[in-house]
Structure 1
C-alpha cells in the first residue's frame, strides 16, 4: 500500500505544481516562423503612475492595411522568449486569434522577471487611493492599457484581456475600475480567495503538497530583473517518493527549518495565518468586483483541483454587483487549463463523446472576443453553458445556478374514483441540452455588443 499511496501523492503534487507553472496559454501551438512571418515583435518598459516600469512584449501584425484590437495577458510566469528577435510559438488564447489578426501584449507583472518593482502575492486591491501614485493590480492594468493605446500604432481603440490561473486573477483585477477601452475580459480558472477555496486552502483545509512544491519553486524573492528566475527551485523532483517525503518531514514547522531557511516570506505568512483572518480577507477579490463594465467570459473545469472555486465565485460576484453587464459562464469537463490545449475528448480513460476543448475554443472563446472587440459574430450566447458528464451533453441556462422547477398545478392525489396518474417530472426551466456536437450559440436576452 505504501508504494501505491506514495505514487499517488507524488503524482498529485507534481501535477498540481506543474499545471500552475505552465505559461498562461497552452493552446495548440504554431511554429515560431509562422508567427515571425506575420507579426513584428517589440519590447517596452511601460511606466506606471508611480514610476515603476513593467516589461511588455508586443506583437503587431505586419499587415498595416487594417486596424486591430489589443489582447493583453499579464502574468507572473514570465513572457519568454526575451529579445526582440525571439518569437513565441503561439499567440493569444488559441491560433484562431493570430490567424485572424490581433495585437498581442504580454506583460511581466510588477516585481517578476524583467519588470521593476516589488512583487506581492495576490496583491490586495485598494478601493480608496490615498494619493495619485498609489498602485494595485487594477491601476497597473489601467496604466498599461493607456500606454499601449497611445504608443502602439494600428490599434482600433479596443482592448481584451485573458489569463488562466494566476493570470486569471490579474484579468479579474483588470476588470475593477477598468479602463474605458477594456471591452472584454476572460478570467479562466482565476484565483478568487486563497483560503475559502482556491489553491492553498479548500474550505480552510491546507493543501500541503501543492502549496509546498509550488511555493518552493515560485516564491523566492527576485532582487533584480532577470530573464530566467534562477531563484526558482523545487525541493523534490519526479523521482522522489512524495508520500515518504512528507511523512519524513514531520511537523509542518520543519518545512522552513529544513528546506526554506527563511527565504520564502509568503510561506512564512501562510504559517502565521492559519485562520481566515484579515491577511486572507484582504486577498479576497470578490467584494471588489463592483460596477464591472467589460463583458466577462468566466471559464472553469469541473475537474480542476486548484481553481474550481474561482470561476464560479467570480461569475457570482459580478452577476450580483453588475447585473447589466454581459457576464457569462462556461464549465467543461476539464482539469486545470484543459480547455486551452488538446481536443478535450477525454480525461484519462473517461470519454466525453465530443471534442469539448476544440468546441470551446472555436465556438465560445473566439466568437466572444470577436464580437466585443471587432463587432463580428452577432448575438451573444447563453448565460451559462455547462457540460453534463454522464449524459455527455452541453446544457445551456439563462441563469446559474438554475432555479427550481416552475410550479405546476396538479390534482394529485386524484379525487376518489379518478384514474389520473401522477404528473411527470419536469426538467429545470430555461435549460436546453445538445448532442455531442452542440449547435450554434442560442439567442440571449442580452443585447449584442456595440462597442
Structure 2
C-alpha cells in the first residue's frame, strides 16, 4: 500500500486503529483518488470493509453527524475510527476533482465507475475479507446508487441516507419540469471550496465577492454571466442541468436514473433513510419500492420528520415534533449504532440468522398541543409507526374535490365553475420552508406558518372543520383541470394542516406538509414540450411529495394552488421559452382551476383506516 501518511496504535491492543492516509487509488482513466484507510489492529488478517465516498472532504464533518445530546458534529475520521474499533476496516475517499483527489469534478456523472474501480481495489487488498459495505448522506447516497446500478462483485450491504436518484428529472434536480435552485446555492458553496479555488487567489477572491442573493433571481444564468464565471467547471454543469429541460438521454445516464434498471441492480441489503422535509423523500420511497419488489434484499426504510440529514433533533423549521422525533433513542441508540447493527446483521451474522423481511418505519406527524414550546416552536407532536411495506396496507386513496366555495369536499361539485389567481413572474410567491436542502442562505427547509390571509397569487381550498382525527400517510396526487391566459405556466401545490386560533397563535397556524409542481408544457409528456392554447381547459396530474400527518379534530386540511414557489424553483416566465436560455420578457398570466361534473378537480390523499381514530 503506497502511503503519504501513516499512524498506528500498538499491535493487538483492544480498540487500536492503524490509519493510512492519502493512498492514491488509480481509476481506469489514470486519475487517482485520495483515500484514507482505518484498519482495526485486532490480530485478524482480514475483515469486512465500510466505504464512504464524499465530495465534502474526507477529513471534514457532516452537519448531520451530531447526536441528540451533543450538537457538535463528529468528524468523519472520528466516525471511521469508531467503526474500525468495532472490527471493520473503514475507507474514506474524496470524489474526483474534490479536495485531495485528482481530476475535474463533474457533478454526479463519474461516480459509478469511480466507485466500482475503488471497490475492485479494496477487494484486492490482503486485509479485506471480500465483503464491502457502503454508507453516506446526500451526495454520499448518490454515489452508492450509481455503484449499485453496476451490480459489482463484493458489495455486501448499503445505507443510503437522503439521496440516490430514482429519476433526477422527476425529483432531486428537477421536479415536474421546473428546476430546483438548490443546485445554484450548492454550486456556489462548493466552487469556493474546490481545489482549483483554494490554489488560485484571484479565482478565490472573485468567488468570495459574489453574493448569491443578488444572483438567485436572475433567470437564466449563462456562460460568463453568472457568479460562477471564475469556476467554469461548476458553471458548466449548472447550465447543463438548467438547460436540459426535457427528459432526454442526458437524464438517462448512470447515477441519475436508477428506475430504468432496478432489475440490474445489486442484491445487496439496503437501508434507506430520509425525512418528510427533504427533497429526496420521493426518490427514497421510489427506490425502496423499485428494489424491494425486484431484488433479494432485504430492505429497510426509515422516514422521519426532519430536514436534510438532521435526524437527531426534535424540530424541522419552526415546528417541534416532540421527544419521539429523533432517531436517537427511538429507532436506535444512535445513528452510528443503527448503521453498525445493519452491517452486522447483513455481513457478520450467519446467513440463516439474518433479517429476511422488509421493514418500513414512518413518523406520523401531529397530535401535539399547537402551543409554543419553551424553545418558541409550535408543538405539533407525532409518533413512529412500523409497517411491512409502502404504501402502508391500510391507507385508502381518497379524493378531496375542489368546489366554488373554496371547500375541499368528499363529494364532487355539482356546479361548474372556476377560481383564478394571477402569476406575475416579477413578483413570485415566496418559498417558506418545505422539502429543501443546501438552500442557505436564500431559503430554509422545514415546517412554517404559511399564513391565513388570502392573496391574489394563491387560490386556497380547505375542508370544513374536522369532526374527528384523520391520518394521511402515503403518496399524494392532484388531478386538476386548469387553464391560463398564457401559453405556459406552472401549477404549484402545497398541502397544509391548519390549526384553529389559540393563545399562542391568535390567527391559527397553517403548517406546510408537502408540495408539488408541474410546468404545464410537460403536462402530457416529459420527453417533449407542448404549449397550451390560451384559456383552453386541460386535465393535468401533479405529483405531490408524500407525507404522514395526523389531522386532529378541530383542524382543517388545506390545499394552496399558485404558479410559483421561489426560490425553491426557477420562475416560469409564462412565455413558453426553453428554460436556461435568454428569451422574451416575462408576461403576467391569469390562471384558473376548474371544477364541476365535467372537470372534477381533486387532490387524492391516503386516509389511514385505524381503530385509533
**TM-score, structure 2 as length reference:** 0.50
From the two aligned structures, give the one with the greater helix fraction. Answer: 1
1:259 aligns with 2:227: yes
Q: Corresponding residue for 1:346?
A: 315
1:105 aligns with 2:91: yes
User: How far is 1:402 from its partner?
Assistant: 1.9
SS in 1 for 2:306: coil
* 2-structure distance, mates of 1:56, 1:207: 32
Residue 104 to residue 225, structure 1, CA distance change in 2 (3 Å): farther
User: How far is 1:165 from its partner?
Assistant: 0.6
SS in 1 for 2:272: strand
Residue 202 to residue 159, structure 1, CA distance change in 2 (3 Å): same
SS in 2 for 1:51: coil
Q: Corresponding residue for 2:118?
A: 144
Residue 398 to residue 57, structure 1, CA distance change in 2 (3 Å): same
From the two aligned structures, give the one with the greater strand fraction. Answer: 2
Which residue of 11, 14, 23 maps to 1:44? 23
* 1-structure distance, mates of 2:315, 2:56: 28
1:91 aligns with 2:91: no
Residue 366 to residue 226, structure 1, CA distance change in 2 (3 Å): same
* 2-structure distance, mates of 1:117, 1:255: 22
User: How far is 1:164 from its partner?
Assistant: 0.7
**TM-score, structure 1 as length reference:** 0.66
Q: Corresponding residue for 1:308?
A: 281
* 1-structure distance, mates of 2:395, 2:282: 26
* 1-structure distance, mates of 2:158, 2:201: 29
Residue 387 to residue 56, structure 1, CA distance change in 2 (3 Å): same
Post-superposition CA distance 1:144-178 (Å, at most 9, x none)? 22222322x44333210011111101111221233
1:116 aligns with 2:102: yes
Q: Residue 59 of structure 2 contacts residue 77 of structure 2 at CA under 8 Å; is this kept in 1?
A: no
Gaps of 5+ in 1: 1-32, 82-86, 124-135, 407-424, 429-451
Moved more, 137-146 or 176-185: 137-146
Post-superposition CA distance 1:87-121 (Å, at most 9, x none)? 955224xx863442321101122333322334332
Structural mapping, 1:349-360, within 5 Å = 349-354=319-324, 356-358=326-328, 359-360=331-332
What is the RMSD computed on CA atoms of the aligned residues? 4.0
Q: Corresponding residue for 1:218?
A: 190
Moved more, 50-59 or 272-281: 272-281
* 2-structure distance, mates of 1:241, 1:221: 15
Larger Rg: 2
Post-superposition CA distance 1:215-248 (Å, at most 9, x none)? 223358978798999967896899x794xx358x
Residue 164 to residue 197, structure 1, CA distance change in 2 (3 Å): same
* 1-structure distance, mates of 2:269, 2:139: 20
Residue 353 to residue 271, structure 1, CA distance change in 2 (3 Å): closer
* 1-structure distance, mates of 2:197, 2:259: 31
User: How far is 1:352 from its partner?
Assistant: 2.6
Residue 227 to residue 146, structure 1, CA distance change in 2 (3 Å): farther
Q: How many residues align?
A: 348
Gaps of 5+ in 2: 1-8, 61-74, 368-381, 397-469, 474-613
Moved more, 350-359 or 184-193: 350-359
1:389 aligns with 2:365: yes
